[in-house]
Structure 1
Amino acid sequence: MPTLPWTAPHTPEHGAEVHVFASRFETRTLGGALKFFLRTPGVWRQVSRAPGTYGATLKAQPLRRTFWTLSAWESPEALKTFARSGPHAPTARGLAPLMRDAKFVTWTVRGDELPLDWSEAMRRLT
């Protein structure tokens, strides 16, 4: 699966503080990676419509069992609402036992720094 392009459903106000979330997941098995891969479209549709989302992208290396997400949000609360609802909530619960490793980082940027670049996310996740 190639990197999904930056999708920006909403635009922040000029000069607004934007909350960034990045994650890295590694599944225990290729079967776990396949399940992650198959559940991605539903969560991707949800994030592309979620209130408060300023953008998102996904990078996947299923044969290496590794996936990365990078997203920008209006607030930490908007991110929490997304994570606890729609397809994301049951998908996260269902995939949790299949994970070998997961890492999460957050930081803030100005709205005019969007779209986000993968290099900063990768630096923070390593």
Structure 2
Amino acid sequence: MAFVSLTRLRIRSIRFLPRFVVHTLASLRQVKKAPGFLVGALLPDRSWTFWTLTAWESQESMRAYIVSGSHKEAMRHLLEWCDEASVAHWDQPDSTLPAWLEADRRMRESGRPSKVLHPSPHHADLSYRTPRVTGGGTIHRA
């Protein structure tokens, strides 16, 4: 059994992008070594939108990761940097990650918006554009 976490973040201004990238790279280094991390994927979408999809041994291992280290530091900024943010979680039989369009379907059906200080009109109801699913990459354990 694997616990899957899906996030979608849209950066509201290009001025936040350089710092977002720095925090993303630090969080990537952290996740690759995180206890319980199995596999992940990143998808850069249009309009400074970024998706993450990760599989974990348990919900507890994922939660331990998000509340520590570089990821915890990055999360402090997302309220201000993002105008759209959402998350979805589910259990599945194995750690095989779904295709991005399947992940998008799951986000729309069972995801929830995260708190942001400057929400776009699409934030609360997850009525964003279908993601562009090319150009993503896989994250493997270190």
TM-score band, normalised by shorter chain: 0.7 to 0.9
- CA distance, structure 2, for counterparts of residue 33 and residue 119 of structure 1: 25
TM-score, reference length from structure 1: 0.78
Query: Shift in Å at residue 115 of structure 1?
Result: 4.0
Q: 1:84 to 1:25 in 2, by over 3 A?
A: same
Q: String of CA shifts for 1:8-44, please: whole Å, max 9, x gaps.
A: xxxxxxxxx1100101111111112332222211100
Q: SS of the residue aligned with 2:26?
A: helix
1:34 and 2:18 aligned: yes
Q: SS of the residue aligned with 1:31?
A: helix
- In structure 2, runs of 5+ residues without a counterpart are 109-142
- In structure 1, runs of 5+ residues without a counterpart are 1-16
Q: SS of the residue aligned with 1:114?
A: coil
1:9-20 correspondence runs (5 A): 17-20=1-4
The one-letter code of the counterpart of 1:119 is L
In structure 2, the partner of 1:124 is 106
Q: SS of the residue aligned with 2:68?
A: coil
Contact kept, 8 Å, 2:11 with 2:82, in 1: the verdict is yes
Query: Shift in Å at residue 125 of structure 1?
Result: 2.1
- CA distance, structure 2, for counterparts of residue 27 and residue 103 of structure 1: 12
Q: SS of the residue aligned with 1:51?
A: coil
- CA distance, structure 2, for counterparts of residue 35 and residue 89 of structure 1: 14
Higher strand share: 1
In structure 1, the partner of 2:72 is 89
More deviation in 22-31 or 90-99?
90-99
More deviation in 25-34 or 47-56?
25-34
- CA distance, structure 1, for counterparts of residue 38 and residue 21 of structure 2: 23
Of 83, 87, 91, 1:104 maps to 87
TM-score, reference length from structure 2: 0.70
Q: Alpha carbon RMSD of aligned pairs, Å?
A: 1.6
